[in-house]
Amino acid sequence: MKTLTILFLATLLISCSQPETIYLDELDLSSMTSGWGTPQINKSITNGPLLINGEEYKRGIGTHATSTFLIDLQGNALEFSARFGVDDASVENGSIKFYLIGDREIIWESDVMRKGSDARDCLVSLKGINKLGLLVADADDGIAYDHANWVNAKVTYKNSVPKPVEEVIEEAVILTPPPPDKPRINGPSLTGVRHGSPFLHRIPATGIRPMKFDVQNLPEGISLDAESGILSGIAPAKGDYVVKLQAINEKGSDEKDFTIRVGSNLALTPHMGWNSWYIHYDRVSDAIMREAADQMIATGMADYGYQYVNIDDCWMVKVSSDDPEIGGPLRSKDDKLLTNKRFPNMNTMTNYIHKKGLKAGTYISPGPNTCAGYVGSYEHEALDAKTFADWGFDFLKYDWCSYGRVEPPKSREDYIAPYTLMWGELGKQKRDIVLNLCQYGMDQVWEWGGNVGNSWRTTGDLGLAGGSGMPGFYNIGRSNADHWEYAKPGNWNDPDYILIGWVGSAIKMGEGVKTDLSPNEQYFYMSMWSLMAAPLIFSGDMAKLDPFTLNVLCNHEVIGVNQDVLGKQGEIIREEGDQMIMVKDLADGSKAVGLFHVTGSATDPLDHFDWGDRKSNKMTISWEEISMSGFLRVRDLWRQKDLGEFEDGITLEVPYHGVQMIRISDE
């Protein structure tokens, strides 16, 4: 009887326990995602005070769209209360919506909030809810300047304390087998060059070193360094020169036919290389560029065909800057471009890169200044094109930036004009310079970009792309995929760079952090870009290339799909539910197929959260769907292994947010 009384009293005590409160800033926010780096406690995302329309708050979380946080309430919460609004550090176009999602249902949402709006209040019942999702979303106009504040945000609960939902950590399984000790020549089987231009090609070959190289049937004017495998010289007369590349080491040899096509077209396969922007931003320097070239060789990336080492913005002099390192006169007395002090001599830097058999790229805007505020090419196009050639550059990214402010476009011709001008000036140089149009897909650039350049961005910056059920790269890639008909040798749709490994926040231009993409998402990313015949330009930290990242970047069979000489972009043939299938025709008559596991909608607030139900998916591809028939051979490209012969089709298990990338052939 005494025991029963004690139990009754204990139960009564628990049932009568008083509600408690925990503030958002008291929780571990390490799993809180933000479109601009780590959320800030008791300050704005820009590290200033929490200010909403002039009113300062001492307690809260400063974040940036798109931002998510999932809290485990264990069914014991009573209510959520907070004030919210756009931080005053935003600009006029900052616009945000705030959501509360309870167990996969929207239980509260705000109106569109803008800079200058008064802070609003929310008070929402949480009774019976197990998981609460906090979402800060853009208002369908991009995430730029979407600085958001949750202030005095708290959960009232009984018994068990709310805690963040633990992040699911996916094992980083390396699928790509290591290269054999015996030589294997990788990369494309042809390259384009113009008559009389400098020729440079490093034979990409894996295998143990030392290795010797030989080339049969080399045209006059081009020679081989047998130790390094670097071909260099001056391009001969117009025509196709088929040579045989050979690589020999103590374990054996390999050979490959390679065509040097001398004509008017460059970039006959998509560009491969590295760009400084998403890791170094305005910190880029001569030393960083040289280190990137060193790492391209040391890590073996160059042995798979990566060759361009490209500076992005911030190498010039910054307009109106009083910083002695980056400020000063914008041009010389004879109007030539000047570099800032971080780049003491462009010629010696490009020579350093070229001696490794690699190529050097640069960047500028057709406007008076670049996106980061450094001097542009406006009204100096001819001189700048000559300067780039004289400096030894092989690639130019030409970024719209400020051009629209000085030449507001009213017609398609206005959009084309700056690129036509630079394209023409580059064509006059005695040096081949590949031109990349960076103008974010304006005026359906895919319809005309091939007339004035070699590749063109089809969307806004990938680093600024918001995610949803899928990460931001998917939304960019999916948009790019729609333009498959416009890609061909020398003309490529460009969905922006490969952001894996260590990358920095694009909005904050911050130091690099390890990607938050899951391993399967990274395989998805590289597979999609390869099937789309997109330029393979990595923009992470070259000094922090770990084995997993290299396994994603350096699979010669996956890259072979991207570099296939037929030059066709893959086409989506099925898109339903959580399945997407993309097919790419290859020069030998086979087909590369990507079976992709996708989830969610880019516009559905519920799909911004991982509700803990990650499942793989069985997907079937029939031979009829890809216009083939009979018994066909199937090869797993990531694992580089034959799966066997199959009649009518094949069914494969595709991991959550992952891919199965296969090659289907009749021999």
Annotated catalytic sites, by residue?
Answer: 399, 461
Tokens matching residue 24: 């958002």
Taking CA atoms, 367 is separated from 379, 418, 435, in Å, by 8, 9, 16
Helix axes 472-481, 519-531, angle to 10 degrees: 20
Q: Cβ contacts of residue 354 below 8 Å, gap of 6+?
A: 200, 360, 392
Q: Note whether 303 and 206 are within 8 A (CB).
A: yes
Q: Note whether 470 and 430 are within 8 A (CB).
A: no
Task: Give the DSSP letter of residue 433.
Answer: -
By residue count, the chain amounts to 667
| Among the listed residues 516, 518, 513, the one whose alpha carbon sits nearest the alpha carbon of residue 541 | 513
Residue 573 phi, psi dihedral angles, 5° rounding: -105, -15
622: three-class secondary structure by DSSP:
strand
Taking CA atoms, 666 is separated from 407, 588, 634, in Å, by 54, 10, 9
Q: Cβ contacts of residue 637 below 8 Å, gap of 6+?
A: 555, 557, 558, 561, 592, 661, 662, 663
Tokens matching residue 183: 């030589």
Q: Note whether 60 and 149 are within 8 A (CB).
A: yes
Q: Give first-to-last CA distance, the chain, whole Å.
A: 83
CA quadruple 297, 214, 567, 526: dihedral positive or negative?
Answer: negative
